[in-house]
Structure 1
Amino acid sequence: MYAREWSLAQSNTYLRPKHNDIPQSPPILRDGTINCCTDAAWNSETRMAGLGWNFTDSKLTTNHSTVVPHVVSPLMGELLALRDALLSATQIGFRSITFHSDSSILIKAIKSKSQLLEILGILFDIQACLPNFNFICFKCIPREANTVADSIAKQALSGFIVTEF
């Protein structure tokens, strides 16, 4: 089941842009609003996930990444990337932000306040961060528009070396 979720979330046709095939950056919604794209790269053998996110406004882009062990599914990796981006945005002091992900399953889970046991704890963490913002929005974007966060996550995962003791 997890492999199917990952496959659907990564499929080129699943989230293909409707009007044209030219990837576009997420729009800046209004002055003072930050855009944040998030993504995760998951290794099923090691159960490690590379998490990547980038903050963009009209003047600046900053990239962030981390590696997390014991990640049970691609969806969990996507949730962890979003949670870490939310925590980072809170620490930086952003108050108006739009989060973008190429995982429609992730966005639906957040908007519907999913009760899936596997993700309930992380969803609770995400919900707990929401009062820190004056404006917050979650949007699903085409995979082609999320290449920066995807590259950050993949680089984080590829830079991690598993050593057996």
Structure 2
Amino acid sequence: MAECLAIRSALSSALDLGIQFLSLKTDCQVLAKAISSKRTVVEVHGVISDIFFCISQLKGFTCSFILRAANVEVDTLAKAALASYLVIF
């Protein structure tokens, strides 16, 4: 869930800034496969639907899986985003 919320926020911000081409790298293999294949994941259905909508607004988008060991800073950021989201709601 943390990763989904961070991705949705990043995509939304990118669109607000007028960014049209984006490359996403994630350490969540299930999420990378779901986004790449445009399949929903039941546990995060609403958030991933928002992600697909944002992606549809871009001119170019790629998504790939990377190992968590190569993604420590972003993993920490995603967890912080989830904590912020839970505090707000």
What TM bracket, shorter-length normalisation? 0.7 to 0.9
Which residue in 2 is equivalent to 1:97? 22
Identical counterparts, % of pairs: 35
Which residue in 2 is equivalent to 1:140? 65
Pairing 1:117–2:42 present: yes
Which residue in 2 is equivalent to 1:77? 2
- State the structure with bigger RCO (CA 8 A, min sep 6), 1 or 2: 2
SS in 2 for 1:100: strand
State the Cα distance separating 1:97 from its structure 2 match.
1.0
1 or 2, which has the higher helix percentage? 2
Q: Which runs of 5+ in 1 are unaligned?
A: 1-75
1 or 2, which has the higher strand percentage? 1
Instruction: Provide the alpha-carbon RMSD of the alignment.
Output: 2.5
Pairing 1:127–2:52 present: yes
Q: Under a length normalisation based on structure 2, what TM-score does the superposition of the two structures give?
A: 0.76
Q: Which runs of 5+ in 2 are unaligned?
A: none
Pairing 1:152–2:77 present: yes
Larger Rg computed on CA atoms: 1
Instruction: Figure out how many residues of one structure are paired with residues of the other and give that number.
Output: 85
Q: Under a length normalisation based on structure 1, what TM-score does the superposition of the two structures give?
A: 0.44
State the Cα distance separating 1:115 from its structure 2 match.
3.9
Runs of 4+ in 1 over 4 A off after TM superposition: none
**Alignment partners' CA distance in 2, 1:96 and 1:110:** 16
